[in-house]
Each structure stands twice: as structure tokens, then as C-alpha cells.
Amino acid sequence: MAATTDAAPGNRLDRRKARTRAALIRAAQSFIAEGKLNVPILEITQAADIGLGSFYNHFESREQLFQVAVEDAVEVHADLLDHVTADIDDPAVVFAHSFRLTGRLHRLEPALSKVVLNSGLSLLGADMGLAPRARRDIARAVKAGRFTVQDLDLTMAVIVGAALSLGQLLHDQPERDDATATDQITEDLLRMLGLTAAQARKICSLPLPELDAVVPGGPA
Amino acid sequence: MAATTDAAPGNRLDRRKARTRAALIRAAQSFIAEGKLNVPILEITQAADIGLGSFYNHFESREQLFQVAVEDAVEVHADLLDHVTADIDDPAVVFAHSFRLTGRLHRLEPALSKVVLNSGLSLLGADMGLAPRARRDIARAVKAGRFTVQDLDLTMAVIVGAALSLGQLLHDQPERDDATATDQITEDLLRMLGLTAAQARKICSLPLPELDAVVPGGPA
């Protein structure tokens, strides 16, 4: 579950600390969504309606807060993906839907996307966020006989690399249609995962469910 | 052609300047190969056997020299790939050989590899080095009816992303066999490019030509 929606812990002090931390994370996500990555800590605490001194009870620096805020936003997106794909039986479609919906985030949340891309290849070993969910979906599809994978670590390296490259390409080529590009790369990856060209094309032309906003202040 | 082997320009002063520049690049490549990325400029000029002051006639900073040194080393590698694949008729095999030989560089030239990985996704739009050659090989294979590609830009995004992820994985998992991992990812990419699983496997088990050292001071 995402940090901003964490159930509050036991006693009153703990609950207040959790609320303050969540307010800082939400404020940071709003500034990130607006592309204001250089915002002073004072402005963040004012937006969160807390004292400047309280900041350092929760985070060592703006960079640390922003890191947590991005991880939280990615977790929220990942939870949304789980939610909108919960009723889909074919794990190959779950993977494809998730990749297609995630590719569309780069334009919907450009500042968040750029922060994620700056983290770059370190995401490869991340134990939270989207990579573990993609790994889970691919493993399920292998088990169901839908995908053929020799070495899941290596497959994940290609998937994560492709996801990052796609984001970079969409920023580098602003005139390019993001939905078409994302669906084409998903289709290419599905062939790599063992589907035929016709199967891959069909899955990537299925209608997608709607996603709600990933960060407060971002588009609905 | 690579900078260190550039034909000397016309007059004597120009030739001397080109020699000094090449000596600095060679010295930088040796330090990079040894992993000495923090070497002082004075040590670089001493290794190149030139005066400290001359450095700034050629480069603004150590970072700029190292950037040029890495690009030069990558160009040398790319030229070697062209050389050892020159007699191969099947462009699908040329692409596969090049990817397999490049994946093996991360362990052979770990410091060079890490510098390249730090440049990361900016390589996507690079107009020199390995990406344009991979694009050329893939385009040839498409023209020859070997590969099926809908959008070469998007295919290249996956290829570059996979190449970077592979390098990161080989550094993160030092116990992993680099040749096996590289060949498996190449095989996966060949399926994405339209080959059957059997064709992809066969191409990736072909014996590879030997490569000479990419940077002076690196392993032969």
C-alpha cells in the first residue's frame, strides 16, 4: 500500500507523525508534477502546512523527500494497475495492459517521468515499484503456458531497458504519438516473450481501462 | 575512423597538434581501463609526455577528455566489429555477432563499460558509436527479408535499452556468466526482430570471431 494512504499507526503521536510525513510527500508530489524540482524546503513545508523544523524529523534533504515521493507515486500507479487488471484472466494481457498504461505516463506526468528516468538503470534491481510487478505477471504468463522465457532476470533486463528507452524517446521526440509508440514496443516485447506476431498485435489493440491520477495535482 | 588513428592533417604544426591530442586520448584510455577515473590532469599529461599547459589547448577539462576518450574507444570497437563481420553475408548474423561481442566487453573492459553506462539513455540519440551501426545492420536485415520491423526508431530504443540493462546486470551480478547472458539476450531480441525461436537459437550458438583489444592497456 502507498505511503500516503498508509493506515495510521497506534498512538496519537505516531498518527500525527504519519500525517505530517504524508503531507510532505503529497506536497512534494505536487511540486514534482508541476516540474518544480528546485523548490526550497520552506515552500514545501508551507504547502504541507507544517513548520520548517519538522521537515528534518522526517527527511534529511529535499532529494531524499523527492526520492520517497517518486517511489510513492510509482507505487500508487502500480496499485492502480493491479486494480484495473484484477479481473483479467490472461496474464499475458495483464502484462501488456500494464506496460501500455505505464508508457502513457511519460506524457501525462512528464516531470515524474523525468525523475524516474534519472534513476535509470538502478531500477533494474529495485524491489518495489513496477519491475517486481512486471516480473510477477511474466512469471504467471510463463506458468500458464502463454510466454516462453529462458531466464527471467535477463528478460526483465530487456523489459526495464525498453521501458526506460521508451520514456526517453517520448521526451526526445515530442511530436511522436505516445500511445502508438507504447503499443508498438509492447507488441515487439510480446513477440520476444514467445507470442506469434498475430497474437501480439491482437493483444496490443485491445481497449485499455481508464486510470485515475497517479499524483495529486496531476491530470485526472 | 577513430581519432587515435586519424591521418595527420597538412602542415607540421597541425600534425604536432594532432599527435598531442592523440597522446592525451591514449593516456586517458589507459587510465580509464585501469579504473583510475579520478587521476589528476598532471598525471595524464605526464603519461602522454606533454606539458601540463598544453592540455588546455585541446580539452577544457578531464571530463571532456574522458568523454572523447570513451567515444574514441567505442568507435574503435565499432570499427573492429565491422572488420570481423565484413565477410558475413547474412545481416541478421552481423547484428547478432555485434551484439554478442559487445555484451562481452562489460567484463573485459569494466571501467570503460561503467563510463558508457553512466552516459545511459543519452546514447539513444547518439549519431556515432554502436547504435547507428546496429540500426544499419537491422535495416539491412529488414531489406533482406530476415527481420520484420514496424518502426526502426522504436526497435532501436529496445535494443539500446537492452544493451545498457545487460551491462548493468553483468556488473550487479558478478557471478553470472557474461557470454551465456549476452547470447540469451541476443536470442530474445532476434525473436522480437521476427526470427523463429529455432533460428534465433541457431544464430546465437554460432562461433564468434576473436576481437583485439579495444583500448591500449586493455586485455588483448
Q: Tell me which chain B residues have a C-beta less than 8 angstroms from the C-beta of A164.
A: 121, 161, 164
Q: Give the three cell numbers for residue B155.
A: 526497435
Residue type, B146: R
Above 70 in pLDDT, residue A170?
yes
Burial B5-42 (b: 16+ CB within 10 A, else e): eeeeeeeeeeeebbebbbbbbbbbbbbbbeeeeebebe
Contact (CB<8Å) A124/B153? no
Query: What integer pLDDT is reported at residue A158 of this predicted model?
Result: 95
Disruptive mutation site among A121, A156, A187 for chain B (greatest number of B CBs within 10 Å): A121
Query: What integer pLDDT is reported at residue A33 of this predicted model?
Result: 85
Above 90 in pLDDT, residue B143?
yes
Above 60 in pLDDT, residue B216?
no
Rounded distance between C-alpha atoms, residue A57 and residue A43, angstroms:
17
pLDDT more than 90, % of chain B = 68
Q: Tell me which chain A residues have a C-beta less than 8 angstroms from the C-beta of B161.
A: 158, 160-166
Query: What integer pLDDT is reported at residue B112 of this predicted model?
Result: 83
Distances (CA, A) of B160 to A96, A142, B154, B165: 21, 25, 10, 9
The secondary structure of A95-109 as a DSSP string is HHHHHHHHHTHHHHS
Say yes or no: A199 contacts chain B, CB-CB below 8 A.
no
CB count within 10 Å of CB A133 equals 21
Above 70 in pLDDT, residue B59?
yes
Task: Choose among B155, B47, B137: nearest CA to B92.
Answer: B137
ipTM: 0.82
Burial of B208 (0-12, 13-18, 19+ CB in 10 A): middle
